Structure 1
Amino acid sequence: MKAAAPVCQTARVKRLEQCSLDEMKALIATAETPLVFGGLCSHWPLVQAGLRSSKQAMTYLAQFYQGMPVTAYHVAPEHDGRVFYNETLDGFNYQAGKLDLRHLLERLQAEAEADKPAGIYMGSTEIQRCLPGLGIDNSLDLAPIAPLINIWLGNPSRIAAHLDLPHNLACNAVGKRTFTLFPPEQVGNLYIGPMAFAPGGQDISLVDPDKPDLERFPRFAMAMEAALTAELEAGDVLFIPSMWWHHVRASADFNVLITHWWRDTPDYLGRPNNALLHAILSLRSLPKAQRQAWKAMFDHYIFDHDPEALAHIPEAAQGMLTTPLDESNARKLRADLTNKLKR
């Protein structure tokens, strides 16, 4: 069998030092590529506790815990922390279950003593529900944006490349993390696995960037040429724009990440991935000529949309074509679409 291809060197995400919070907010307002803000959250009490020791970071976190069970993953030692599918892609390579956070932290301390530790991982968990009060001194004030703030923790882990709809400010509070990021247009070179059946519920790349098999996944070489890498120490913050694919490797015995997610559009406009699912239902099986005709329609009304192109329609008569779509017209459109999907 041909050996896996070596990992190529990728460009680094631009790193900015000594930025204030206001300077960071101004920069990400228009940023279209990832940015690292060195040490931006290094003053957090959680970061400072982790710099002293993993045990002190765990003790600091535990004081906020109110007993809500958390979802935790156990990855057998032979998988080296990779949270992934089984070999036939009809199941996963980990066990998941609800656990008391204090028990989870005890397990992490025990695994740190093992020669070949099992992977112990808690994925995206809303901070206010799990650890109320932690975010007061350990989150970013993004006002007027009100982000969803989540916490992730565990020992060494590897999370397959996936994307998120919201923008993300990922704060590396404890330990070390390496992000490998791919622009949205690289989706065709990432070999995405089954939709709607993936670890964590997010579609993922089937390629392991640490050991890419270019015989099986040849186009991944082009993805790596376009990739960016960010090495995060405790206190560093990474801005991930919406829809950028990212593989995440945590390398310390104890790692904590706090993320801030937000969207550019109001909730009443719905989730764009629902439109993708509807398109798969109604367009994907059409003959190629018809798909191309619908592509022209989508380009005209959606992707290349220019408000000036509607100048021939009186503004009061534009209805669902109004830009930006207001809540009243959005609700009418949603109701009409819901009724049509029932037929």
Structure 2
Amino acid sequence: MTSLPAPQAIDQHIGGAIDQAAFDALRSAVRPAVLRGIAADWPAVQAANTGNRAMVDYLTARAAARPIGAIAAAPSELGRFFYTADLSRLNFIKGTGALDAFLEDLLRAAELPDAPAMAVQSEEIAALIPAFTQSNRLDILPGVSPRIWIGNRIRVAPHYDAKENVAVCVAGRRRFTLFPPDQIANLYPGPFERTPAGTPVSMVDLANPDLGKYPRFAEAAQHAVQATLEPGDAIYIPYGWWHGVESLEAVSVLVNYWWAPGLPDGIGSPYDALLQALLSFKHLPEDQREVWRTMLDYYVFEKGGDPAEHLPPHAQGVLGPASTQLFDTMRSLIRQ
């Protein structure tokens, strides 16, 4: 088996709190960063440091009476939420129930030698645990609604988000392995239609990469960066960076903040546009695809500069400055 280099360590900010100016400067580098101890004073982190029962009691005492979604995979899957061997379906089941029941099941599973993988994923904290956000705050993102992720020793395949992300480790340790967006071809993305993580995931198992089947992953590994978070630590993940996540403890809690700054009101979804592009361009003859590649570079990515600069403002139409009216006009043209 070909050996791969160990991922490089992610840059760290050490010292707990970080002010807005320092956080903005960190983001401007467009590189992942670890924020050590940024949430060490959270009551939830302090409860987690007391023990698993204290963590569960802290969440249960503040939870609203509403159902949650949860997923579970058999012990044979070794904690990996992924596909069955033939890719015909996902390798886990979904269900709904009460948070307190899930948490008690999580504690019982912690005593088993071969526990199933269990997770509650991406629940909005404001709706599920309203009092949590009042006591556990991230001041650098005051207007972003946090989400909570709870589970045991699980592995999530590398995937990307069309958002920026700050993920705070509350209980248990979590290992993050990241790759820059330009490594997409070397990560072998899976299907669009059925995915464990919303967007396509890498088909490569980071714990045991098969270079015979996925040889280009050897190049992706040259660009990998990694960090292990302790309770109270956070990681900043830039827009579009691929990240695989491994929870290392029997009880693991993470709070994350997704946001996409700078988006004009009414703009369309880039992910939807990608699907539309696959529909419209992928199966054209190559000479026609080359024409449209040139069109996109000119109109969308503006490689030759502003495509409307030679037109007076009243004649720029859909090439004009962003506005909700402009986007409504575009949608009307598409519908026609």
| TM-score when normalising by structure 1 | 0.93
Write the letter of the residue equivalent to 2:30: E
Q: Which residue of 2 aligns with 1:328?
A: 325
Corresponding residue to 2:156 among 132, 138, 159: 159
Q: Which residue of 1 aligns with 2:128?
A: 130
SS at match of 2:266: helix
Alignment root-mean-square deviation, CA: 1.6
State the 1:200 CA deviation.
3.6
* Cα distance in 1, alignment partners of residues 168 and 264 from structure 2: 24
Structure 1: stretches of 5+ with no match in the other structure: none
Q: Which residue of 2 aligns with 1:116?
A: 114
* Cα distance in 1, alignment partners of residues 59 and 265 from structure 2: 31
Q: Which residue of 1 aligns with 2:89?
A: 91
1:260 to 2:257 alignment: yes
| Deviation digits for residues 108-134 of structure 1 (CA, Å, limit 9, x no counterpart) | 110111111111111111111111121
State the 1:102 CA deviation.
0.6
More displaced stretch, 57-66 vs 133-142: 133-142
Describe the shift of the 1:24–1:135 C-alpha distance in structure 2 as closer, same or farther (beyond 3 A): farther
Q: Any residues of structure 2 matched to 1:133-148 within 5 Å, and which?
A: 133-142=131-140, 146-148=143-145
State the 1:202 CA deviation.
2.3
Q: Which residue of 1 aligns with 2:66?
A: 68
SS at match of 1:246: strand
Describe the shift of the 1:58–1:267 C-alpha distance in structure 2 as closer, same or farther (beyond 3 A): farther
* Cα distance in 1, alignment partners of residues 23 and 134 from structure 2: 19
Q: Which residue of 1 aligns with 2:243?
A: 246
Identity percentage of aligned residues: 34
| Deviation digits for residues 231-274 of structure 1 (CA, Å, limit 9, x no counterpart) | 11111111111111100000011111111011121351021011
| Deviation digits for residues 151-190 of structure 1 (CA, Å, limit 9, x no counterpart) | 0011110001111111001111111001110111111011
State the 1:142 CA deviation.
3.7
1:79 to 2:89 alignment: no
Check whether the contact 1:45–1:137 (CA below 8 A) recurs between aligned residues: yes
SS at match of 2:215: coil
**Runs ≥4 residues deviating over 6 A:** none
* Cα distance in 1, alignment partners of residues 25 and 68 from structure 2: 35
* Cα distance in 1, alignment partners of residues 216 and 241 from structure 2: 18
* Cα distance in 2, alignment partners of residues 55 and 198 from structure 1: 33
Describe the shift of the 1:191–1:79 C-alpha distance in structure 2 as closer, same or farther (beyond 3 A): same
* Cα distance in 2, alignment partners of residues 330 and 116 from structure 1: 53
Describe the shift of the 1:317–1:141 C-alpha distance in structure 2 as closer, same or farther (beyond 3 A): farther
Q: Which residue of 1 aligns with 2:220?
A: 223
| TM-score when normalising by structure 2 | 0.95
